[in-house]
Amino acid sequence: MNISTDRSIAVLPFVNMSKDAEDEYFSDGMTEEIINALTRVEGLRVIARTSSFAFKGKNLDIRAIGKQLGVTSILEGSVRRSQKRLRITAQLINASDGMHIWSQNFDREWEDIFALQDEVSLLIAEKLRENFGHFELKEQLIEAPTQNIEAYNLYLKARYHHLKWDGQGIRTAIALYQQCIDAEPSFPLPYFGIGYCFAMAGSWGSSPDLLERAQQFLEQGFQLDDQSALGYFGKATLAFWGHWDFAQGQAHFLKAIELNPSYTEAKEGLAELYSAVGLFTEASEMVDSILSINPLSPNHFFTQANIHYLKGEFVKALAFLEAALQIDAKFAHAIALKQLCLLHLNRRDHLEVYLKVEPAVEQPAACRALLELLYPGAYPDIDPISVTAELERQPSETLFPWLLFLKTQLKEVEAALDLLAAGIQTHTGQIINFKHTPLLHPLHTDLRFQRLVDTVFSAPLTAPQPADSTQANSPKRILLSDREVAQILPALKQLIEEQEIYLDASLSLRALAERLDINANKLSWLLNEHLGQKFNEYINHFRLAAFKKFALDPKNHHLTLLAIAYDSGFNSKTVFNAFFKKREGMTPSAWVKRNR
C-alpha cells in the first residue's frame, strides 16, 4: 500500500477583494471560520490561525510556505462582498509541487453565509480526502451560531480587533462585542469574547472590577451554550490569570481542549499553568504538541523558553527566544526574558550591546545592577543600591518585577518578601512563576517564602494528561465487514471497467459512492484499506490506461494529446502531465513517440 499518512493543510488568509479596504475583518473572519471547521475533521492536521496568518500579504512560493509549515496542501482564496452578495474563490494546492488540485467560485446571498462556509469547508475536506487518503467526514462542519446576520457581522469585527492583542484592539473589541450583544442577546459567542477580554485586562491590570465583569459575561454566555470551547477557555483564563486558581484553571483548560483538541490557545494556557506549578515536563510536552500545528507562533516559543528559564537552563531558553524573535522582533516578552538569560549567563558584552540597540528592553539600569550583584566586577561603576532606590522612587509597569529581583539579590529579605506578598495579593503578571524564578532562589530558605508557596499552590491538580497535538492519532475504525467488502468490490469493478464511469471528468468520491449506494466514508475507507489507493490515484489509473489506448488508435492521431487526455477523463493539463510522468517516468509526448 502507498497511502500517505500526512493529511495536512494550511489555510492562508483570504484576500479581501471588496471595494472597501475595511472589509478585511470579513475576509479574515471567513478564513478563521474555515480553519475552525476543518479542525473538526478527525485525522486531518490543520495549521493554526497564527501560523497561517504569518503569511498574510506576502507573495511567497506555495512550495516554500508548505515546507515551512510542514503540510501537504494549502488553501488560498479571496472574498468579495458587494451589498448583499458574496463571492468566494478558493484554490486547493499541492504543497510539494505547487500543482492546483481544485478550484471553485461560490456566489451566494449574504444571508447564506453559514451554509456557504459549510459548503466550502466540506468541499475542501472532500478534495483532500480524494487526493491524500482516507478520513471520515460528517455531513455538516459548520452550524449557524445565530440567525441574526448583522450581529454575526459585528462579532467578526470584534474578533478582528480582539486578535490584534494590543490595548486599543481589546478596547475596540469590547465595544463591538457589546454592540453585538445588544443586537442579539441570544447569541453566545460575543459573551465569551467580551468575557475573555475583560479577564485578560483585569488579570494584567490588577482590576477586580474587570474580573467581576468577565465573570458576569461568561456566566451569561454559558446560560446560552454550556458546551463552548471558547467559553471554557475564557473561564480558564479568568481562573488561572485572574484569580490564580490553578485547579479550576486546569479543569477549564482541559474541558476546552476536550471540546476542541486543536485549540492551541487553550493548550498554551495549560502549559503556562503547568510551568507556574513546576510541572515542567508536562508543560514542555504540551508546547511541543502545539508547535506541530502552530509552528510560527512567537508565544509558543516564548512559553518553551520560559520553561527552560525556570529550570535554570538558560542556553536552551535563549535558543527558543531567538526563534520567537525571528518571527516577531518586537515581541516584548521575549525581549525581556532574553535580558534575564544573558544576565544569568554572565554574557556582559552581549547584554550591553543588546541594552543599547534594542529600544524595547526593560529597566536597563536595573539589569546592569543585577549583573553586578550576581557577578561582582561586571559593572564596577554601578551602585546597585542607588539603582534600587531610584527604581523605588520612580516605579514603572514592566513584565518582570525588577525591584523585587534587586531587593532579593541585595539580601534585603524582608523588603523582598513584602514586595512578593503584595504581588501575590494583586495577582500581578509574571510573579505567578515566583516558586521557580531563578532570581528569587535566595528567598527559598525563608519560612515566610515557604508559607507563601504553600498558600498559593495548596489546591491539588488532577494528573496531567499526555499532550496530543491533533486528532490524527485516533484509532482507525473499521467501516465495512469482510462480507460487505466482498459485495461492493464486484459492483465497483462493474462501474469502472464496464461502464467506464471514470471518463466523466467531474466524477467525485461522493458521486461514485452514490452510484454504489454506500456512504462516501465507507468507499474512501474501502479504497484506502483494501485497495491501497487514494480515490484520485485509483480513478486516474484507469484514465491513464484509456489515454494510452486512445492515443495509439490511428483514428485519434489528428487530436492533440491534451484533447485525448480530456476525453480520457482528466480535467487538468497539470494533473494529467504530473500523473503520467510519475507513473511512466517520461512525458506523454515521449511515450506516444516511442509507442506509435
Q: Can you list the domains of the chain with their CATH numbers?
A: 8-132 (3.40.50.10610), 482-595 (1.10.10.60)
| Average pLDDT score over residue span 543-567 | 96
Residue 247: which pLDDT band, with cuts at 50, 70 and 90? very high
Tell me the three state secondary structure of residue 107.
strand
What was the pLDDT predicted at 474? 52
Give per-residue pLDDT as tens, 455-507: 999 999 998 877 664 444 455 689 999 999 999 999 999 999 999 999 999 99
pLDDT in tens, 56-80: 999 899 999 999 999 999 999 999 9
Amino acid (one-letter) located at 32? E
In this structure, which amino acid lies at residue 464? P
* Phi, psi for 130 (deg, rounded to 5): -65, -30
pLDDT for residue 83: 81
Model pLDDT for residues 100-140, shown as the tens digit of each residue: 999 999 999 999 999 999 999 999 999 999 999 999 999 99
- DSSP summary character for residue 518: S
CA distance 579 to 476: 29
550: phi then psi, degrees, rounded to nearest 5: -65, -40
CB 69 within 8 A of CB 62: no
pLDDT of 441 strictly over 60: yes
User: For the residues 239-243, what does the mean pLDDT come to?
Assistant: 95
| pLDDT band, very low/low/confident/very high, at 395 (cuts 50, 70, 90) | confident
Helix orientation angle between 264-277 and 229-237, rounded to the nearest 10 degrees: 30
Q: Check if the beta carbon of residue 239 is closer than 8 Å to that of residue 255.
A: no
Q: The whole model's pTM is what? A: 0.92
Q: Outline where 345-412 has alpha helix (H).
A: 348-357, 364-374, 384-393, 402-409
C-alpha of 321 from chain center: 19
In degrees rounded to 5, what are phi and psi of residue 82?
-135, 110
CA distance linking residue 115 with residue 398, whole number of Å: 47
3-class SS of residue 543: helix
Strand-pair category, 8-11 with 45-46: parallel
CA dihedral 116, 117, 118, 122 (to 10 degrees): 100
Q: Are 276 and 307 in contact (CB under 8 A)?
A: no
Give the gyration radius of the chain's Cα atoms. 29
Residues 6+ apart with CB under 8 A from 564: 547, 550, 551, 556
What does the angle CA 374 – CA 380 – CA 383 come to, to the nearest 5 degrees?
80
Residue 283 pLDDT exceeds 70: yes
Cell of 20: 472597501
Res. 396 pLDDT band, cuts 50 70 90 = confident
Residue 478 DSSP label? -
Q: How confident is the model at residue 2 (pLDDT cuts 50, 70, 90)?
A: very low
Helical axes 384-393 vs 402-409, angle rounded to 10°? 140
**pLDDT 10s digits, 77-99:** 999 998 889 999 999 999 998 99
> 135-162, pLDDT tens digit by residue?
999 999 999 999 999 999 999 999 999 9
Q: Quick one: which of 101, 263, 296 has its CA closest to 196?
A: 263
pLDDT for 473? 46
497 with 549: CB under 8 angstroms? Answer: no
| Separation CA 52–CA 12 (nearest Å) | 5
With residue 233 as reference, give the H or E element that holds it: helix 229-237
Q: pLDDT for 311-353, tens place per residue?
A: 999 999 999 999 999 999 999 999 999 999 999 999 999 999 9
State the pLDDT at residue 505: 95
How does residue 397 score in pLDDT terms, banded at 50, 70 and 90? confident
Give the tens place of pLDDT for each residue, 181-210. 999 999 999 999 999 999 988 887 557 899
Q: Cα dihedral angle (488, 493, 494, 495), rounded to 10 degrees?
A: 90
> Which amino acid type is present at position 270?
L
What is the reported pLDDT for 202? 87
pLDDT recorded at residue 175? 97
Poorest-pLDDT segment among 2-11, 43-52, 82-91: 2-11
User: Where residue 22 falls among pLDDT bands split at 50, 70, 90?
Assistant: confident
List of residues 6+ apart from 371 with CB closer than 8 A: 343, 346, 348, 351, 378, 379
Q: Tell me the pLDDT of the chain averaged across its residues.
A: 94
Q: Which residues pair with 80 in a beta bridge?
A: 87
CA atoms of 514 and 251, how far apart (whole Å): 44
Instruction: Please answer whether residues 270 and 241 qualify as being in contact, where contact means their C-beta atoms are separated by less than 8 angstroms.
Output: no
> For the residues 575-579, what does the mean pLDDT come to?
92
d(CA 413, CA 445): 11
Residue 205: per-residue pLDDT: 59
pLDDT reported for residue 3: 37
DSSP per-residue string spanning 142-202: ---S-S-HHHHHHHHHHHHHHTT-SHHHHHHHHHHHHHHHHH-TT--HHHHHHHHHHHHHH
